[in-house]
Structure 1
Amino acid sequence: MKKWLALVLTASLLTGCSGNMASKEKEDKDIKDLEKVSVVLDWTPNTNHTGLYVAKEKGFFEEEGLDVEIIMPGEAGADQLVASGKSQFGVSYQESITQARVQGVPLVSVAAVIQHNTSGFASPVAKNIASPKDFEGKTYGGWGSPVEKAVIESIMKTENADVNKVDIVSTGDSDFFTSVKRDIDFAWIYYGWTGVEAELRNEKINMVYLTDYSDKLDYYTPVLATNEKMIKDNPDTVEAFVHAASKGYQFAIENPSEAADILLKSAPDLDADLVKKSQEWLAPKYQDDASRWGEQKLDVWKNYAEWMTENQLLEGEFDPEKAFTNEFLPK
């Protein structure tokens, strides 16, 4: 009896082992069958990127046949890596793609991460900057781009204010909270991150949103991008990536708390309270009034390019119809 029992147990163990081995082999085969691609971020991980991390964690990329690596931009930057084909996909912005296109760089936006521009000029309440007119006599701290002065001037004109009365300086790597405690009065921020952080710090700020003063400044920022070669040679891969990303962002819209946990799992150094509150704030902003997440409108691309041309920021011909596409979004 003992001998028979031992034989049964041995057979059972062998069957279990062979079953586990078969399962492992199938898993390894499935992984090998996946197409390896990468998506490069525009910055360190934050809630603009949550949908990508959700798509990876929840297996949405795998369901579409992709093995996706999410990578940091490094010195080259996301646009350069995507344009050169060193990364198949990247997080970009309408403004940078517009400038790239007129220089012959074949970047294409395939989805709007956030439907409307949530950025604006922030300042501590004590600075008494409630509108563009109040920029006069104040110091703006930024990163030294010609676009900054043009945007400031553009919205100041709506109140007949003079941009030449603004002191514009570069603050380098200093963050908003450090800068305004020194010699800066206001800075350009995304409310969904820095504004939310101000709330958590209990530091009251005034916001002058770009979209309150100009429809042409309601551009897509950020977007998911690829290059023309990927679209031409690997349209199925582009569609698979966009479909999976769409599922990821849709999940983040419907489950902001769980989505925040997924981002924190991949980027544990982030402030958990900030991620949670930022995710909650952004959840309804991803799709907003669009018929589906990721949708882009031709007028938005035309309007911003016109604004850039009017402000002498765009040299060369720009074809908005080639700068973006909705064809890879889920129907």
Structure 2
Amino acid sequence: MPASQRTHRTRSVIRFISALALATGLVGGKPALALDEVHLQTDWIPSGEHAMFYGGWSKGIFAEQGIDITVTRGYGSGDTVTKLAGGAFEFGVADIGAVMAARAKTGLPVKTIHTLYTHSPHSLFVLESSGITDFKGLEGKRIGITPGNSHKLYFPKVAEKAGTDPSKIVWVNTDGASMAPLLIQKKLDAAPFYSIHQFYQNKAAQSAGEKIVVLPFEKVGFAIYAASIVASDAMIAENPDLVRRFLEGVQNSYRWARDNPEEACRLHVERIPEVAFDDCMGSLAATLTFVFNEHEQATGFGRYDDERLAFTWEAVAEAQGIDPAWDPGQAIDTSLVPTP
């Protein structure tokens, strides 16, 4: 093992033992301060895309940073951002687009403090048997949609890049729970999903003798930032040490899940038994491609590129009818992201 890795592991062990000592009061035989209690709300249901958080919680990775963490599911990025601003919890996972829009529209005092997905997993699922292989093939076809779904809001921009005529798309309103069944039953030609959910949706398709093909928005050049860690302005200003330690825990959890996916999913499923182990593994593997990649290597984990941030805001502003002249830098502060 390289010396740098041994040093990092030794430091991690020391931090973990120290955290346990603090938690149990075993410091020089004297009472010690308890760990900082932190509540993290994610952006959605706890599938494998969140295994690094739930698994990292069980593994004690956040305890290494002096943090007693609790992780709960979210109900959409907008809900997470709104509740965070109201003080319901300390940190959240939310799409940076929701953070930008809320800040630009109402001045909501919440910021992205660490990017996660370097590009968005927005995509459309089609059946292989449909013969649709690209966005041009969607003209004249039926695409399912739910009210306010960002896939439809972003689609004109995607269509522009793909050379598709958006006026030739037939949008079919439905509820989220019916989307996949209607696609598999061929009552829809395409359905909006995050590509990280292909694995378990494809299991249902295979049981019906079908196979799902993914049309990622990113493949036609629609590369925008997506999931991120968020905090309130007050938390950033008043407790920067906790923010730094929390982000250290986030980064360590992601790297641990990348290097130990089976353990991460085993621990995740222990906490969330309704998630099947193979579904967790499939979703986690797909998720990590949006986190660790060439863009992340160029910018640094958790940081951002000015050009991509500007395009992200351009897409969000156009989709939601917000003044594009607003400065998106007002919605992001990565100054407390750990330095490698």
State TM-score, norm by structure 2.
0.81
Contact 1:121–1:189 (Cα < 8 Å) also in 2 = yes
SS of the residue corresponding to residue 322 of structure 2 reads coil
Letter in 2 for 1:145: G
Q: Considering only CA atoms, is the larger Rg found in Structure 1 or Structure 2?
A: 1
What are the equivalent positions in structure 2 for 1:100-249 lying under 5 Å apart?
100-103=102-105, 104-145=107-148, 147-180=150-183, 181=185, 183-193=187-197, 195-201=198-204, 202=206, 203-214=210-221, 217-249=222-254
Q: How many angstroms does 1:182 deviate by?
A: 5.6
Aligned partner (choices 302, 327, 335) of residue 327 of structure 1: 335
User: Which stretches of structure 1, 4 residues or longer, exceed 4 Å deviation after superposition?
Assistant: 22-25, 27-32
Provide structure 2 residue ranges, at least 5 long, that are not aligned to the other structure.
1-20
Counterpart for residue 25 of structure 2: 26
Q: 1:169 to 1:285 in 2, by over 3 A?
A: same
Q: How many angstroms does 1:148 deviate by?
A: 3.2
Contact 2:109–2:233 (Cα < 8 Å) also in 1 = yes
Aligned partner (choices 244, 263, 266) of residue 258 of structure 1: 263
Q: Is the deviation greater in 225-234 or in 304-313?
A: 304-313
Considering only aligned residues, what root-mean-square deviation do their CA atoms show, in Å? 2.7
State TM-score, norm by structure 1.
0.83
- Post-superposition Cα deviations, 1:212-269, rounded to whole Å, max 9, x if no partner, equal 222xx31222111111111011111111111111100010111111111121111011
Counterpart for residue 326 of structure 2: 318
Paired residue total: 307
Q: 1:311 to 1:33 in 2, by over 3 A?
A: closer
Q: Distance in 2 between matches of 1:285 and 1:262?
A: 22
Letter in 2 for 1:63: E
Counterpart for residue 73 of structure 1: 74
Percent identical residues = 22
Provide structure 1 residue ranges, at least 5 long, that are not aligned to the other structure.
1-21
Contact 2:111–2:332 (Cα < 8 Å) also in 1 = yes
What are the equivalent positions in structure 2 for 1:31-42 lying under 5 Å apart?
33-42=34-43
Q: How many angstroms does 1:146 deviate by?
A: 6.7
Q: Distance in 2 between matches of 1:221 and 1:309?
A: 14
SS of the residue corresponding to residue 140 of structure 2 reads coil
Q: How many angstroms does 1:97 deviate by?
A: 1.2
Q: Distance in 1 between matches of 2:83 and 2:219?
A: 34
Q: How many angstroms does 1:38 deviate by?
A: 0.7
Contact 1:253–1:286 (Cα < 8 Å) also in 2 = no
Letter in 2 for 1:134: G
Q: 1:83 to 1:126 in 2, by over 3 A?
A: same
